[in-house]
Amino acid sequence: MVFQGQHILSIDQLDREAVERILQVADLMHPYVAREKSCRVLDGAVLANMFFEPSTRTRISFGTAFNLLGGHVRETVGMSTSSLAKGESLYDTAQVLSTYADVVAMRHPQAGSVAEFAAGSKIPVINGGDGPNEHPTQALLDIYTIFNELNRIQKGTENLRIAMMGDLKNGRTVHSLTQLLCVFPNIDFTFVAPNALAMPDKVLAVCDKHNHRVTITESLEDGLQGQDVVYQTRIQEERFETQREADLYRGKYRLNQSLYEKLCDPNTIIMHPLPRDSRPEANELSNDMNDNPNLAIFRQAYFGVKVRMALFALVLGVEDKLSQYEAPVSWHSNKL
């Protein structure tokens, strides 16, 4: 895949070689994310960070990634504060912003909306999540996390066993991660969810196409045993027609330290795309796991900055120029 000047809209664009190239460039970003060095390779470049759906980590992660490469960030947050509220089309918005910025990161509540925007854009557009459809950068940072976590516990990446549980119907993170993992060989997937929130058939079809093993169960006990990775998700209440419907499923698949010790292998990696719902009626990933060394949820968020830096460097064609724009960090930092 040639990255320079390209949109990053869908998992379908990425084969194994492309994924490995992104992860390779992400490794190069460590000195800047750890504040060991600064980099100004994108000095003067502008990111239009357009988030029309609530976000904390993804929005700030994109902005931080661009800043750490020396670029400038301009943001639009929420539909009501944009001209879309006045009836402007995504195409027209894209045409205008293409003259203001060098790259766009975008999140929108409607499936296919980011691709619609990209059709009118003269500059690269990176999909930060389009409704329940896709979240390609999350899938990339999740794979980066999985590989790093397996390396941490001195385990290989071959024959990966991963369980995904919770709201698999509406969770775009698990849709994208499953499809992206399929470019690697010998994956054993276990999908744990109530029937009404099961993984969509179109995602299962991708697993089948690549001859991966798939187990579907409603049982938490069956689903957690023998896994290398457990990927927990929250109930996507914003995707339900009513709060009452969402409440039928909240708290159904809770994971706490006691269950972890009872059902999981000793070094099972625990992941979650965040935010985790810590309210008592939900609490799908208990706070009593915070001291578990295999809880990787905050390392996931940290790795996300590296991966998004890699994507910006690749689509703007500067991935081989980083060292030319390095400088020592002049401020105090406790970053690791």
pLDDT for residue 267 is more than 70: yes
- Name the pTM for this structure: 0.92
Q: Comparing 138 with 56, which gets the higher pLDDT? A: 138
Percent of the chain with pLDDT over 70: 93
Q: Name residue 181's amino acid.
A: L
Which whole number is the average pLDDT over 2-28? Answer: 96
Distance CA 254, CA 257 (A): 10
* HSE-up (13 A, CA, CB side) for residue 329: 14
Predicted confidence at residue 18, as pLDDT, reads: 97
Give the model confidence (pLDDT) of 182-210 as tens digits. 999 999 999 999 998 999 999 999 999 99
Q: Please answer whether residues 59 and 75 qualify as being in contact, where contact means their C-beta atoms are separated by less than 8 angstroms.
A: yes
Is residue 23 pLDDT above 60, yes or no? Answer: yes
Q: What's the rounded Cα separation, in Å, for the pair 87 and 6?
A: 28
Amino acid 35: pLDDT:
94
Q: How far is CA 15 from CA 19, 125, 163, 247, in A?
A: 6, 19, 22, 38
What's the pLDDT band for 284 if we cut at 50, 70, 90? confident
pLDDT at 89: 87
Find where tokens 């929420």 sit. 78
Question: Band of the pLDDT at 336, cuts 50, 70, 90?
Answer: low
Question: How high is the pLDDT of residue 53?
Answer: 82
Cβ-proximal residues to 315 (8 Å cutoff; 6+ apart), any chain: 3, 4, 5, 6, 8, 103, 124, 126
Residue 305's CB: how many other CB atoms inside 10 A?
24
CA nearest neighbour of 224 among 165, 164, 168, 264: 264
Q: How far is CA 79 from CA 86, 133, 143, 161, 172, in A?
A: 10, 19, 31, 40, 20
SS3 156: coil
**Alpha-carbon span 180 to 12, nearest angstrom:** 8
pLDDT surpassing 80 at residue 251: no
- Classify residue 87 as exposed, middle or buried by CB count within 10 Å of its CB (0-12, 13-18, 19+): exposed
pLDDT in tens, 218-242: 999 999 999 999 999 987 666 666 6
- Spatial distance between the Cα atoms of 37 and 323, rounded to a whole number of angstroms: 10
pLDDT at 32 (0 to 100)? 97
Cα–Cα–Cα angle for 269, 273, 279, rounded to 5 degrees: 100
Phi, psi of 312 (to 5 degrees): -60, -45
Length of the chain: 336
CA atoms within 13 A on the CB side of 7: 20
Q: Which helix (H) or strand (E) holds 229?
A: strand 229-232
pLDDT higher at 279 or 67: 67
Is the pLDDT at 109 greater than 90? The verdict is no
Q: Is the pLDDT of residue 161 over 80?
A: yes
The yes-or-no verdict on residue 79 having pLDDT over 70 is no
